[in-house]
Amino acid sequence: MSTLNAVLPLFAMIGLGFLAARMRLLNEAAIQGLVNYIFFFTIPPMLIVMLSKADPEKLLAGGPFLLAMFSTEIAVALLAAFWARWAYGNVGPAAYGILGFSACFSNGVLLAVPLVVAAFGPEAAAPALVLVTLDILLFVAVTGLLEYGQMGGRAAMSGAAKAAALNPVIVGTIIGLALAFTGTSLPGPLDALVKFLGPAAPPTALFALGATLALRRVSAASAKPAGVLTILKLFVQPALAALILFSIPGIDPIWRAAGIVYAAAPIGLNAYLFARRYEVGVSPVSTAIVVSTALSVITLSVLLIWFGDRV
């Protein structure tokens, strides 16, 4: 029931966005403007607020755990890229980047973090936040690939690196971690603004996703990659995470359970925001997010029941 309760509001916002677009309250230009607003003005404050509250000692204590989870994400991303190469030929670094990112990027902020804390207690917050901080490495990698894919040529690498460094998602993550490790906070008015903007990110991103789905038909061409991304995310990634985490001695059972559940979470909304921002793979990625989120009600429930007697 906790999984269902966590997922239902997500679908409600997707449905409202879908309805708004079908009623012609939004067009493509309006949706793109909304995505830009989310990407630049709400996601960074949300990350700053969430990460600034993290315990630095607990974040630093998860070295082997972090390495195991990062290896899992990279392996799944490479599987998605190799599949794209085999199925479609050389589709370019931008497509490889967005497909790989979508296959391994979990819906941590909206679903995985609150779910593992509710299921395993406050002790599970530390590993969950460790995994959220891991996302910065994925953000850097996918931003570089997307920028390089758009700009082309080896000379564009410096431009891609600059774009990654100025990416608002990456900047928000760095600021949040800096505040956590220094024990400081933003100046009063700025802190109030960040806390005001941050909560707007999840519902508006879900709303934009629903609107996008309403204006883009799911063709057979996009259904196939969406299905592959869903399988990789919901089944391959948690299985691989479990294989690695259970083979490493000394990992806290709660950290292990939190890591596997986090890996089994559906595809995160940032995959859609990146796809829409760079107009690469929008249809398969947005479809995969909805499908994986729907199926995760079952898969996550099974995992939580299984871990219930073991943590």
Residue-level length of the chain = 311
> What pLDDT, in 10s, does the model give residues 10-39?
778 888 998 999 999 988 888 888 888 988
Provide φ and ψ at 218, rounded to 5°. Answer: -85, 105
Whether residue 156 is predicted with pLDDT greater than 60 in this model: the reply is no
Q: For residue 221, what pLDDT band results from cuts at 50, 70 and 90? A: confident
Write down the pLDDT at residue 159: 62
Tally of domains within the chain: 1
What's the CATH number where 15 sits? Answer: 1.20.1530.20
Whether residue 1 is predicted with pLDDT greater than 60 in this model: the reply is no
In terms of pLDDT, which residue wins out, 9 or 175? Answer: 175
The mean pLDDT of the chain is 84
The residues pairing with 267 across neighbouring beta strands, listed in sequence order, are 106
> How many CA atoms are closer than 13 Å to the CA of 268, on its beta-carbon side?
26
- Provide the residue range defining the domain that includes 91: 2-308
Q: Are 126 and 9 in contact (CB under 8 A)?
A: no
- Alpha-carbon distance of 164 to 170, in angstroms, equals 7
User: Which two tokens mark 203?
Assistant: 């519902």
> What pLDDT, in 10s, does the model give residues 100-109?
999 999 988 7
What lies within 8 Å, CB to CB, of 2 at 6+ separation is 115, 118, 119, 304
Q: For residue 75, what pLDDT band results from cuts at 50, 70 and 90? A: very high
